[in-house]
Amino acid sequence: MFSKILIANRGEIALRVIRACQELGIRTVAVYSQADIDSLHVRFADEAICIGGPRSHESYLNIPSIISAAEITDVDAIHPGYGFLAENPHFAEICRSCQITFIGPSPENIRAMGDKMAARQIMRRCGLPIVPGSTNIIKNKEEAIKTARQIGYPVIIKAVAGGGGKGMRICHNDIRLVSSLATAQAEAEASFGNPNVYIEKYIEKPRHIEVQILTDQHGHTIYLGERECSIQRRHQKLLEESPSPIVDAKLRRRLGELAVKAAKFINYLSAGTIEFLFDEKLNFYFMEMNTRIQVEHPVSEMVTGIDLVKEQIRIAAGGKQHIIQEDVQIRGVSLECRINAEDYLNDFSPCPGKIEDLNLPGGRGVRLDTHIYPGYEIKPYYDSLLAKLITYGQTRDEAIQIMSRALNEFIIEPIKTTIPFHKELLANPLFQKGTFSTHFIAEMLNKEEEEEK
């Protein structure tokens, strides 16, 4: 086992990793930007080193500074968390060359799955169902039109190196396709440094469901059920749950076996997620693979009782999984609400500022992963996530009831947050029935706007 780990991240995920390390008896090193000097991950780590200025490229994306901090503190491993450098194959390669263990998959895995077109081809060879789409990069409008007509409208333009909705455009005809192509390419270039895009058939009213896997260096791979991630705003998840309301035991096993097959096919190592897109007839297609711990991993932990971060660390240290597939039982239902510093009535615009009044929810069935405290200053440089509010119930109805109660207890003032949005969402009859798609939030908010007119 490792003796010391550096956490190359900030916020709630940095605290989450520190806690897992403490429970495993591993010392921790926090890195922080000048803006995060008063953050809790700095306070609770055994050691802390400032790695640069407040902007991400000066600090949390500054590979030389992070590696220097790791060498100065003589760590065995680096945990990247999620975001920042978590899916950067170059960073994983540098860790390897410096003989520092990267707690995650190999650089080869990260690179292959980070290229969305390459990932599609790999998973097609593996036997996973793939959404119909282009087999090559779209270079010009003529290729785009030809491909779209072959597939059939509507189609979606996607960035090869994409994620988070960047470089995506939905097109219902040639005119829209031509006008959107250059915009999508420019957005992909600005977001990922890669302008390449491809085209897929656009599935209307889809559901986004993902499968959690764990695989070790001894050839053992397991799946830990699925997560329903269809509650999104512009491809950004807002609420997740496990299990999905539409997945039964037979379908769960089918999805899990395909996810395990995919992981073995690419010789994957560590925690990972295979994401599927479902249509209204429950046909499903491989969408992408996330080669890191997910923001929403707590809901899987709640229904399986398995600590995914600890397992990630054990696997990276060369340990054998002590869990076999037969041990994995899905019990109850867990929900996670992402509490962001955003004004949902103003197009979810960011709301930085100082927290003056704070009351944290608690009680039976409530878990809160957060890094905020009274007096905490929300900076404009980073993601707006303040907390992940997670609840557990024996049934979905109970998990929703506990979440509603916890949201009522949760006070963050005077900052505008997504707490009121989540209250409204949980009260929606269609959400309560589990009848929704990835368009649900946009439809819900559009309906409210129309009613106000």
Alpha-carbon distances of 365 from 55, 162, 332, 336, 368, rounded to whole Å: 37, 36, 11, 12, 10
User: What residue type is assigned to position 371 of the chain?
Assistant: H
H or E stretch including 27? strand 27-33
Of the candidates 306, 278, 76, which has an alpha carbon nearest to the alpha carbon of residue 213? 306
The Cα–Cα gap between 289 and 390 comes to: 24
Q: Note the Cα 162 to chain centre separation in Å.
A: 13
Residue 93 makes CB contacts below 8 A (sequence gap 6+) with: 107
- Catalytic residue numbers read 292
Q: Are strands 77-79 and 4-7 parallel, antiparallel or unpaired?
A: parallel
H or E element: which one contains 357? Answer: strand 357-359
CA angle 333, 14, 259 (to 5 degrees): 45
Question: Are the C-beta atoms of 180 and 158 separated by less than 8 Å?
Answer: no
Asked whether the beta carbons of 46 and 28 are under 8 A apart, the reply is yes
